[in-house]
Amino acid sequence: MQVTEKTKVATIWLSGCSGCHMSFLDQDELLLELAKKIKVVYSPIMDIKKFPENVDVTLIEGAVANEEQLEMLKEARAQTKILIALGDCAVTGNVTALRNAWRDSDKLALEKAYVENTDKNAQVPTDVPKLLKKVHPLHQVVKVDYFIPGCPPSASVINYVLTELLSGRTPNMEGKSKYG
Amino acid sequence: MGDAIVTLKIDGVEVHVPEGTMILKAAKDNGIIIPTLCNLEGLTPYGGCRLCLVEISGSPKLFAACITPVSSGMEVTTQSEKLKEYRKMAVQLLLAEKSHVCSVCVANDHCELQSLANELGVDHTMFERNFTKEEIDSTHDFLVIDRNRCILCTRCIRVCDEIEGVHTLDLRMRGKDAQIIMDLDNKWVNSCSCTSCRKCAKVCPVGAIYIEGEPVGHTKHKEIAEFITERRQRKCK
């Protein structure tokens, strides 16, 4: 019997609510079919510290909102063959990017959260990654190969895109997924 | 509109329609759907959204089907790769212009812009999205306008003027600064002409004007086009 190597898949969670990952897990029994063909090499639900090398497909949930995420995204792009923006935050910025309407939103957002809306120890944290001036969808920072809009995208759309890619076909998103 | 019948070809199919009919209507009456956001049967065509662009053989120009009347022997193409690219571009520009965040919009799943983006496969925008801070007016008892979601199709202005006959709504400024206003730029609650008829909310293709506490799917029932046509015919008599 010929042993074929499984496709290496990674998933990353940037500024999003984890809903897209939940939707990924929502593939339920279809995950068993996928598991025969793919090997998950990096994911927020796995305990791996460093993004591996030579990944075939990376699904990224969430927008880019701070410096750590910016670095993470660039690292993932450098190591990945096919990079997919998963969900509205990754595709458009979505709710995460609403702060872009305000100038100096990086400062304002922290002050709102940690100073104005708290009554004890009000202070802006300094030991967390620095927020970017604006929140960006992935394709504003790196080249994105496929987009799966949706808040969250349905499990069937995620499965469709992965299945098509695993079969060497190009997914056609017309009429498949929707924003929101 | 005269009684004369004009014969033309739409997507290779020969159709016969009364003289003066717009291409969009001629196509629709013959089962050919051309996408549109600003056009609504029963209201004066506006030609603003540019989604109904079609090709007419013999001309290098593209024509907005909602404001181009048919003529004898015309050959119209409504679906082509070129048109699809233009339509996708128009949807992308609309999505990028204001804060169109479907996940937190009242019209989610009942939005014509959202469903058009879906149908055309606009899975991202190549333009940087604008996140706006336009004024939201919720001073009216139950009508709310969120100008951050407005695509300036002017359906509300036309329905207010042509069907309800009060012309409370209008446009101020131009280009990206253009906004829907009430009377001479009053707060909605201070408008002395508004009859609170809700037609603006019914015709809004997105979630810009809506009725507080009422599901948008309920407000925008599908028969609105028929309702307007019927009202218009009654008015004409």
Could you read off the pLDDT of B108-161 as tens digits, one per residue? 999 999 999 999 999 999 999 999 999 999 999 999 999 999 999 999 999 999
B181: three-class secondary structure by DSSP: strand
With respect to residue B56, please indicate whether it lies within any of the assigned structural domains.
Answer: yes
Report the pLDDT value the prediction gives residue B150, as an integer from 0 to 100.
96
Query: Does one domain contain both B41 and B136?
Result: no
pLDDT at residue B5, as a whole number: 92
Average pLDDT over residues A92-107: 93
Q: List chain A residues with CB under 8 Å of B124.
A: 85, 91-92, 137, 139, 144, 147, 149
Distance from the Cα of B85 to chain A's closest Cα (Å) equals 13
Q: Are residues B129 and B230 in the same domain?
A: yes
Is A153 part of a structural domain of the chain? yes
Q: What is the pLDDT of residue A44?
A: 94
Q: Find the largest Cα–Cα distance for chain B.
A: 54
**B158: number of Cβ within 10 Å:** 23
Q: Are B162 and B43 in contact (CB under 8 A)?
A: yes
Same-domain status, B223 and B167: yes
Full-prediction pTM beyond 0.95? no
Chain B residues whose beta carbon lies within 8 Å of the beta carbon of residue A146: 123
- Using an 8 Å Cβ cutoff, are B51 and B36 in contact? yes
The pLDDT mean for chain B works out to 90
Task: With respect to residue B59, please indicate whether it lies within any of the assigned structural domains.
Answer: yes
pLDDT value at residue A176: 86
On the question of pLDDT at B234 being above 60, the answer is no
Whether A68 maps to a domain, the answer reads yes
Question: How many structural domains does chain B have?
Answer: 2
Using CB atoms within 10 A of its CB, is residue B205 exposed (0-12), middle (13-18) or buried (19+)?
buried
Are residues B213 and B105 part of one domain? yes
- Out of A101, A140, A147, closest to residue B123 by CB: A147
Is residue A87 in a domain? yes
Q: Tell me, yes or no, whether A2 lies in a domain.
A: no
* Cα–Cα distance, B195 to B187 (Å, whole number): 14
Q: Are residues B42 and B135 in the same domain?
A: no
Yes or no, beta carbons of B104 and A95 under 8 Å apart: yes
Within-domain flag for B87: no
Same domain flag for B103 and B10: no
Question: Could you tell me if residue A123 is inside a domain?
Answer: no
**Residue A23 domain-assigned?**
yes
Q: What CATH number does residue A75 fall under?
A: 3.40.50.700
A16 near B CB under 8 A: no
Contacts of A174 in chain B (CB under 8 A): 119-121
Asked, for residue B154, whether it belongs to a domain, the answer is yes
Band (B2; pLDDT cuts 50, 70, 90): low
**Residue A161 in contact with partner chain B when CB distance is under 8 A:** no
pLDDT at B84 > cutoff 80: yes
**Is B68 in the same domain as B173?**
no
Q: Which of B101, B109, B115 to mutate to test the interface with A (most CBs of A within 10 A)?
A: B101
Distance (Å, rounded) from C-alpha B39 to C-alpha B50?
Answer: 10
**pLDDT for B174 beyond 60:** yes
CATH number assigned to the domain comprising residue B198: 3.30.70.20
Whether B144 maps to a domain, the answer reads yes
Whole-number pLDDT of residue B175? 86
Residue ranges making up the domain that contains B215? 95-236
The band of A178, judged by pLDDT with boundaries at 50, 70 and 90, is: confident
Structure tokens at A141: 């920072």
Contact criterion met (CB below 8 Å) for A91 and A147: yes
* Average pLDDT estimate for A155-176: 93
Could you tell me which chain A residue has the CA closest to the CA of B148? Answer: A101
Shortest CB distance from A92 goes to which of B119, B121, B129? B129
A107-138 pLDDT tens trace: 999 998 899 988 888 898 888 899 999 999 99
Residues B46 and B100 in one domain: no
The CA distance from B38 to the nearest CA of chain A, in Å, is 21
Sign of CA dihedral B86, B126, A96, A88: positive
Which CATH number do you get for residue B20?
A: 3.10.20.740
Query: Greater confidence, B234 or A17?
Result: A17
Mean pLDDT of B70-94: 95
Are B141 and B208 members of one domain? yes
Q: Does the distance separating the beta carbons of B103 and A94 come in below 8 Å?
A: yes
Nearest-CA distance A49 → chain B (Å): 31
User: Do B131 and A93 count as a contact with CB atoms less than 8 A apart?
Assistant: yes
B165 and B56 in a common domain? no
Looking at the structure, do residues B117 and B182 belong to the same domain, yes or no? yes
pLDDT of A1 > 50? The answer is: no
Of B79, B109, B134, which closes a domain? B79
Residues B74 and B139 grouped into a single domain: no
Interface contact flag, B108 A180, Cβ < 8 Å: yes
Number of folded domains in chain A? Answer: 1
Give me the percent of chain B exceeding a pLDDT of 70. 92
- Asked whether the predicted pLDDT for residue B1 surpasses 70, the reply is no
Q: Does A56 touch chain B (CB under 8 A)?
A: no
Dist CA B21 CA B41 (whole Å): 12
- Which of residues B36, B51, B79 is at a domain's end? B79
Give chain A's mean pLDDT: 93
A94-101: average pLDDT: 94
pLDDT at B226: 62
CA distance A141 to A72: 11
Of B32, B55, B79, which residue is a domain's last?
B79
Q: Write the DSSP string, chain A.
A: ---PPPEEEEEEE-BS-SHHHHHHHTTTTHHHHHHHHEEEEE-TTS---SPPSSEEEEEEESBEEEHHHHHHHHHHHHHEEEEEEESHHHHH-GGGGGGGGSTTHHHHHHHIIIIIT-SSS----SSSPPEEEEEE-GGGTS--SEEE--SSPPHHHHHHHHHHHHTTPPP--TTT----
Asked whether residue A65 is assigned to any structural domain, the reply reads yes
Does the pLDDT at position B30 exceed 80? yes
Residues of B in contact with A108 (CB under 8 A): none
Domain that holds residue A63: 7-100+132-166
Q: Which residues from chain A sit within 8 angstroms of residue B125, using beta carbons?
A: 92
Q: Which residues 128-157 on chain A approach chain B with CB closer than 8 angstroms?
A: 137, 139-140, 144, 146-149, 151
Question: In this complex, do B124 and A92 lie within 8 Å of one another by their Cβ atoms?
Answer: yes
pLDDT confidence of residue A71: 96
- The answer to whether residue B84 is domain-embedded is no
Predicted confidence at residue B237, as pLDDT, reads: 46
B100 domain-assigned? yes
Per the DSSP assignment, residues forming a β-bridge with A40 are: A9
In a domain, A141, yes or no: yes
